[in-house]
Amino acid sequence: MNSRERVWAALNHTPPDRTPLDLGASAVTGMHVCSVYLLRQALGLDPPGTPVKIIEPYQLLGEIGPDLMDALGVDVAGLSGPRTMFGFRNENWKPWTAPGGTPALVPEGFNTVPEPDGDLLMYPEGDRSAPPSGRMPAGGFYFDSIVRQPPIDENRLDPADNLEEFGPISPADLAHFASQAEALWQSGRAILVNFGGTAFGDIALVPAPWLKHPRGIRDITEWYISTLTRRAYVLAVFERQCEIALANLEKLHAAVGEKVAAVFVSGTDFGTQTAPFISPKTYRELYLPFHRRVNDWIHSHTTWKSFIHSCGSVYRLIPGFIEAGFDILNPVQISAAEMEPGRLKREFGRDLVFWGGGVDTQQVLPFGSPEEVRRAVRESLRIFGAGGGYVFNTVHNVQAGVPVENLRALYDAYKEYC
C-alpha cells in the first residue's frame, strides 16, 4: 500500500499492510523543536547547528520536514490555516535560539521581549503596542496564555463578544486551503486538516491569544464556571458558532474536495488524569448537540472522517463521542485512569479509530529506558493495531528533554513492530 491507501484502510477498520504513522500532522501530534533538532541530528539529516523552523510558537513545535517524514515513514500530512495561535503568519523566517540552546527559525511576527526576571512575552499579531497575550517563564519550554479578562458586567454580557474570532471564511483563506491541499495531495500522504471554528469551548482557545483586545468571557476559570452559571450564554455562543462553522464547511469542501482524509473537529479537553471533569450528562446537554450537527454535515456531504482530541481520562464520555458521530479519538492518554488499551480496543474499537496512544509522553518516553520505550511501543501496536482502526502516534506531542536514545528507540520500535 502507499501512505494514502494505508491510512484509508486503517480509518475504515480494515487491516493495512502496516500500521500507519503520524508525526506532525496536527498541533497535538507533533514534536517540540528541541526534540526535532535532536532527532534530525541523530538521523544525519543536517550538519550540526542547522536550525529547525518553529511552526507552532505556542507549544514551540518544530517542523517535520519531508526528509524527516521520508526517513521515518510518516503517512499523514497536516493542513492548517496560515496564521499561528498568536495571530501572525508563518512567513519571513528569522533566527532565534530556543530553550536549551537549540538553533531555530521563527516567523517575523515572533517578537519576544525579555523581562528582567527572564520571562519572555509574546504579542498578538506580533504587535508590541498591544497587551502581551503569551508568557514563557524563565527556564520554560512553552508559552502560557495571559488571561486578559475585561471586567464582567452581567447586564452587558453579549454572546457576540465571544464570537469575535468566528466569521465567514475569507477568500484568501479558502485559496490557502485549496492550494495547500493540492500540494499535499501530490505528496501521496493522507491529509489531516484543521480548518478551525468547530471546537466548542476549547479552553486553549477561550483566552484568544491571537486577538489584541478580546471581549466577553475570556478567563479560564470564569469560562468553566459559566458553563453552569451562565449556561444560556454559553449555548448562545455555541449555537451561532455552529451556524458559522457549517456555512464555512460548505465553502471549504468546495475548495478541497475529497483530498482530505480526516478533519480535526474538536480539541476541547474533557478529562483530568483521574476522571472526566464533566459528567456524561453535561456532555450530552452542552456539547453533543453541536458536535452531532457538525459531524452529521461532514458525513452527509463528504468522505472525511471526524477527529476529536481530548486529553485525560475520558472513558466514561466515549459513548457520547460515538453518539455524536466522531470517527477518531486522540490522543488516547493510556496513562490516565480507565484508559487501558485493551479495554478501549475491546469496547470501542468497532466504532472508533484510535490515533495516538503509542507511548506515554509524561513518564515512559522522557524518563524510561530505551528498552522500556520499545516495549511500550510494541504493546500499543499489538493491541490497538489488531484488525486495523489505528494510526500510530505518541500520547500528545513529543516533549522537550527526551533523551535522543529514546527518540531513536521510539521510531526503531515502530518500524520493527508496525
Q: Is residue 128 part of a domain?
A: no
> Which domain range does residue 375 map to?
3-44+63-90+149-417
pLDDT value for 113: 82
Q: What is the mean pLDDT of residues 34-60?
A: 98
- The three three-digit cell numbers of residue 241, written as one number: 458558532
Residue located via cell numbers 526576571: 117
Check pLDDT > 90 for residue 152.
yes
> Does any domain span residue 410?
yes
The helix/strand count (H/E) of the chain reads as: 13, 15
Secondary structure class of 127 (helix, strand, coil): coil
CATH, residue 198: 3.20.20.210
Residue 406 lies in a domain: yes
Whether 218 is in a domain gets the answer: yes
Share of the chain above pLDDT 70, in %: 100
53 phi and psi angles, rounded to 5 deg: -70, 135
Strand ranges in 188-344 using DSSP code E only, listed in sequence order = 190-194, 262-266, 305-309, 328-330
Amino acid letter, residue 21: L
Q: What's residue 379's pLDDT?
A: 98
Dist CA 417 CA 173 (whole Å): 40
For residues 108 and 91, the answer to whether their CB atoms sit within 8 Å is yes
pLDDT per position as a tens digit, 340-359: 999 999 999 999 999 999 99
In a domain, 56, yes or no: no
Tell the burial category of 416 from Cβ atoms under 10 Å away from its Cβ (0-12, 13-18, 19+).
exposed
> Grid coordinates standing for 300?
452527509
Residue with cell 480526516: 262
Residue 21 φ then ψ, to 5°: -120, 135
Q: Indicate whether 319 pLDDT > 90.
A: yes
Q: Over the stretch 186-197, which tens digit does the pLDDT of each residue have?
A: 999 999 999 999
**DSSP per position, 72-113:** HT--EEEEE-SB-TTS-BS-S-EEEEEGGGEEEEE-TT---E
Span 292-306, average pLDDT: 98
pLDDT at 260 over 90: yes
pLDDT tens digits, 196-246: 999 999 999 999 999 999 999 999 999 999 999 999 999 999 999 999 999
Tell me if 125 is assigned to some domain.
no
Asked if the structure places residue 344 within a domain, the reply is: yes
Residue 205 forms part of a structural domain: yes
Question: How does strand 190-194 pair with strand 262-266?
Answer: parallel
Using pLDDT thresholds of 50, 70 and 90, give the confidence band for residue 114: confident
Helix segments in 273-391, DSSP class H:
280-282, 288-301, 318-323, 341-348, 364-367, 370-384
Instruction: Look at the chain and report how many structural domains it folds into.
Output: 1
- For residues 61 and 55, is the Cβ–Cβ distance under 8 A? yes
- Tell me the chain's radius of gyration from C-alpha atoms: 21
3-class secondary structure, 67 = helix
